[in-house]
Structure 1
Amino acid sequence: MNYQNNDDAQALQEPDDVRERPRRKGIYILPNLFTLAALFGGFYAVVMAMNGRFEQAAIGIFMAAVLDSLDGRVARMTNTQSAFGEQMDSLSDMVSFGAAPALIVYEWALKGLGKAGWIAAFVYCACAALRLARFNTNIGVVDKRYFQGMPSPAAAALIIGFIWVMDDAGMRDAWDLPWLAWSAFGATLYAGLTMVTNVPFYSFKDISFKRSVPFIVIVLIALGIAVINIHPPIVLFALFCVYGLSGYGVYVYRKMKGKPVSVIATSTDEPDEEGLHR
């Protein structure tokens, strides 16, 4: 009993700055491991492209996209969200889905177009940065069921999927084929500019892995995996082509039905940044 009283007295005598010292915040390992793995996928893709191995570069970007789609879900499911993780995710996305695809498509085809080629690559890279900055700014006001503009992983998959299909067909010197180089030029600009439009793209964020689903859903997932394995380059590229056009389809449909096309769910109290929300 006397020991307890002595401890209480000692605690009362401690300075306020010692007693009120905040605990140091740590970093959650699990979600950030997924983010680092996605970052490695983008870096690996650039290295493979520099060595002329574009198929491996494509695989690196697609793996980065898969891992990027998981890190946020893992963080929410394990209740390990953090401000550090959000910033880390944005930086990883900029490398894997902004700089990496721009460098890969330039190395593969756009360098044969001279100044026009590197301008197209820069436009894509800049649009990826602008899209990520706008996403971080609008995260509190955007309808979570939709993305405002095409998400950067889908834009990267659109470009890299095109490269993968052509490389698989034996067209490895694309920069020496004017028609193919200009096709890559058009795809790069389309993907880049679509990222910064206000066109709504379905986000799939309302799909929960915690809820039970009918048995047929598992069967359809198994069939989907089997279809992808028939010929991964063509199937994946076709899927992302459909997704890359789906936003414009949703936009036209809503316009025809007289429904609002904006994905902004609430108003903002920041008049100086009003242009970001429209």
Structure 2
Amino acid sequence: MMNQLKNYSPTIVSIGNLACGFGAIVFIMNNEQAYAAWLVILAMIFDGLDGQVARLTKTTITWGAHLDTLADMITFGFVPAFLIGKQGAFDAPIAIWFVCFFYTLSAAIRLAKFEFESEKSNSSGKTRSKYFTGLPSTLAGGTAASLILLDSYLKTTLNIQAVSTCLPCVIFILGMLMLSKVPYIRIIDLVGSKRDPVSLLITSVLFFTLLVFFILYPSIMLALGFCVYILIGLGKHGIHRRRAIHIT
């Protein structure tokens, strides 16, 4: 019994991701967008853990990866689009719902391509790249959710509605980035990489400083973190393109 539970442990974590997506939909239907956004953030933790659990337990289920992809599609492909569309309620202009569908379509294409390429790499024995090609759907969904939280925070504390006005444009950009060739570093690999003692000390101090700010201002720090990650990827892509132009 325990051995079977061990074999299915990565899949159980993926089910946690799916449960968050389902719960987020329920909260959206009850006009509790902030709670729904927090569930998307929680789902990101489950999504990051399933692979780590599989490596630690050295277990894989044949259909587990497919379940993980389906869970990602619901939680990070459908829920963020529905969150943005629901901001204007159901009388939102058709153009906004079209943009939301474009985001969902982009996430579906992104996940399908990622699963295909992962299976191809595993069969050929190639080592995986340190970079994602295009913005991962998980981080796109997290970005949308963090902006919903920031919007809620600014509305309740400062009565500022600027973020909600920009959300349809933001989700369109996120959709484009998922389909793009922009390289984004794998955060898990970055955290797990070896460092010298000085770099480790600086990283630790920076981490705990950011943790304090996150505890004090979670909505602001989440949105800031996601936006910085996206901008770093765009900046690296721009540098590589300039170098390629100069070489040619």
TM-score range, shorter chain: 0.7 to 0.9
Per the TM alignment, residue 196 of structure 1 is displaced from its structure 2 partner at its CA by 0.8
Q: Do the aligned residues in 1 keep the contact of 2:140 with 2:174 (CA within 8 Å)?
A: yes
Question: Is residue 39 of structure 1 aligned with residue 18 of structure 2?
Answer: yes
Structure 1 stretches of 5 or more lacking a match?
1-24, 172-176, 260-278
Q: Which moved more, 1:209-218 or 1:57-66?
A: 209-218
Report the counterpart of residue 91 of structure 1 in structure 2.
Answer: 70
Q: Do the aligned residues in 1 keep the contact of 2:11 with 2:61 (CA within 8 Å)?
A: no
Q: Do the aligned residues in 2 keep the contact of 1:154 with 1:240 (CA within 8 Å)?
A: yes
Under a length normalisation based on structure 1, what TM-score does the superposition of the two structures give?
Answer: 0.74
Matches within 5 A, 1:136-175: 136-139=115-118, 140=121, 143-170=128-155
Report the counterpart of residue 256 of structure 1 in structure 2.
Answer: 242
Separation in 1, partners of 2:101, 2:51: 28
Q: Do the aligned residues in 1 keep the contact of 2:8 with 2:61 (CA within 8 Å)?
A: no
Q: Do the aligned residues in 2 keep the contact of 1:46 with 1:57 (CA within 8 Å)?
A: yes
Per the TM alignment, residue 220 of structure 1 is displaced from its structure 2 partner at its CA by 3.9
Q: Do the aligned residues in 2 keep the contact of 1:123 with 1:189 (CA within 8 Å)?
A: yes
Report the counterpart of residue 51 of structure 2 in structure 1.
Answer: 72
Over 3 Å counting, the alpha-carbon distance change for 1:211 and 1:34 in structure 2 is farther
Over 3 Å counting, the alpha-carbon distance change for 1:27 and 1:212 in structure 2 is same
Question: What letter matches 2:140 in structure 1?
Answer: A
Report the counterpart of residue 272 of structure 1 in structure 2.
Answer: none
Over 3 Å counting, the alpha-carbon distance change for 1:126 and 1:106 in structure 2 is same
Q: Which moved more, 1:108-117 or 1:25-34?
A: 25-34
Matches within 5 A, 1:180-219: 182-207=165-190, 209=192, 214=197, 216=201, 217-219=203-205
Separation in 2, partners of 1:212, 1:181: 40
Report the counterpart of residue 37 of structure 2 in structure 1.
Answer: 58
Q: Do the aligned residues in 1 keep the contact of 2:183 with 2:237 (CA within 8 Å)?
A: yes
Q: Do the aligned residues in 1 keep the contact of 2:40 with 2:76 (CA within 8 Å)?
A: yes
Over 3 Å counting, the alpha-carbon distance change for 1:212 and 1:70 in structure 2 is farther
Size of the aligned set, in residue pairs, is: 231
Report the counterpart of residue 84 of structure 2 in structure 1.
Answer: 105
Under a length normalisation based on structure 2, what TM-score does the superposition of the two structures give?
Answer: 0.83
Report the counterpart of residue 9 of structure 1 in structure 2.
Answer: none
Report the counterpart of residue 239 of structure 1 in structure 2.
Answer: 225
Q: Deviations over 1:30-52 (max 9, x none)?
A: 11121111111111111111111
Question: In percent, how many aligned pairs have the same letter?
Answer: 28
Q: Which moved more, 1:129-138 or 1:207-216?
A: 207-216
Structure 2 stretches of 5 or more lacking a match?
none
Separation in 2, partners of 1:254, 1:113: 40
Separation in 2, partners of 1:142, 1:197: 22
Q: Do the aligned residues in 1 keep the contact of 2:73 with 2:111 (CA within 8 Å)?
A: yes
1:226 corresponds to which of 201, 212, 225:
212
Over 3 Å counting, the alpha-carbon distance change for 1:116 and 1:182 in structure 2 is farther
Separation in 1, partners of 2:142, 2:50: 18
SS class of match (2:184): strand
Q: Deviations over 1:126-174 (max 9, x none)?
A: 1000000011122227852111110011111111111111112226xxx
Higher helix share: 2
Question: What letter matches 2:139 in structure 1?
Answer: A
